[in-house]
Amino acid sequence: MPNIPRDTGLDSTWAFLRDPYRFISTRSKFHQSPVFQTRLILQKTLCLTGAEAARLICDPDRFVRQNAAPKRLQKTLFGQDGVQGLDGDAHRHRKALFMGVLTPANVQELAELSEVRWREYARTWRPGESIVLYEIAREILCRTVCDWAGAPIAERDVQQWTQDLAALYEHAGAIGLQHWQARKARRRLEQWAAELVESTRAAPPTPEQSPLERIAHYKDQHGQPLDLHTASVELLNLLRPTVAVSVFITFAALALHKHPFCLRNLQSGDERDIGCFVQEVRRFYPFFPAISARVKEDFLWEGFSFGRGTLVLLDLYGTNHDSQLWEEADRFKPERFRSNSPSPYCFIPQGPGDPHVNHRCPGEGVAVALMSVAVRFLARSLQYEVPEQDLSITWDRLPALPRSHFVMRNARITM
């Protein structure tokens, strides 16, 4: 039985935080192994990368998600008692709630609302004005998803709720003041969401239930409604990831700027070109570095021994850049998606597997639809200049972004 390669040193937490997206793939190449052992926050951790590892971590007989995510992420990014930490029947039943809300028709409605918002905002931009795309995209998506969910926000609260929802993912991995600000933002948001759920439960149901109503009246596998706290967490699990799509939209703008041939192609091409471009942005650029799970029972994989209770991290970014899976993996190449329908264990920007039964993000269709609207708008309906700025990527922070957040100037609608 081969030994799992081990990192030297007491702990690798700081090395991970300095380069969270490339840490696993870099160390995996060093060890020449798809799995290696390290210590993160002084805890024994097995790091995996590649398609077979992605397939492995989807096995519910070998891995569980309960207590896998660090407490600091539960108290900021995910919330406690949400769908991400469930297993077995409880997970499948709760996941069905999200898949029932995020039907193709509902996602299309959300996308159409976002297109209206982009045009509304663009009409207010003045000649000579500089627009920070990431910040504008966050606000547009916050307004859009809250309206769509049946939880519209007052004009005076738009900036606060946008900042709070963004703080859940922007500062989840931060240390110090920013992390505590993210916790404070979650407390505010959960109180607001709980009040919405409570008032929704007290009102007569509507014929076409909004996402808020679906969550408020959801009953678990035992026929019991969610308590107010858990219902508020799940409502935020619809809103927060939607706002986070602003990260992908910003990288899409960066890709259009860095690859003018893509912009020209999208201006004259068909809808399939937009779809291929969006998927390549999701593959190529960093979004979330890894997902976690715990070993359910002792088992062997590829001759390596996995012990019960061990924390395991699956490399998302590295798998999307694995040269064994992707031709010219480090080249931005949208056309690869024209002839290739990649495996759900190779293409994993938002987790591996089947979103209906595994822990792959149920909002993946939302990300694709909202990105498609934004890319179509940027490429075909908006004229803008990209002034001199620092567009280098902040690899040492979560989420990674262009340092300038992508500034546009003299933006105006052309059609």
Give burial (CB, 10 Å; 0-12/13-18/19+) of 148: buried
Spatial CA neighbour of 19 closest among 254, 246, 286, 249: 286
CB within 8 A of 41, min separation 6: which ones? 11, 13, 70
The label of the residue with tokens 């505590």 reads 180
Helix (H) or strand (E) holding 149: helix 133-149
Cα–Cα distance measured from residue 191 to residue 212, given in angstroms and rounded to the nearest whole number: 15
User: CA 348 → CA 15, 164, 189, 327, 394, distances in Å?
Assistant: 23, 27, 29, 16, 21
- 170 vs 178: CA distance, rounded Å: 9
Q: Which residues are annotated as a binding site for heme?
A: 361
Mark the binding-site residues, compressed into ranges: 361
User: Is the Cβ–Cβ distance between 45 and 306 less than 8 Å?
Assistant: no
Q: Please list, residue by residue across 18-46, b when 16 or more beta carbons sit within 10 angstroms of its beta carbon and e when fewer do.
A: eebbbbbbebbeebebbbbbbbbeeeebb
Q: Please state, in angstroms and rounded to a whole number, the distance separating the CA atoms of residues 199 and 193.
A: 10
What are the Cα distances from residue 250, in Å, to 104, 245, 256?
24, 9, 10
Distance, in Å, from the CA atom of 74 to the CA atom of 194, rounded to the nearest integer, reads 18
Contact 357, 375 (CB under 8 A): no
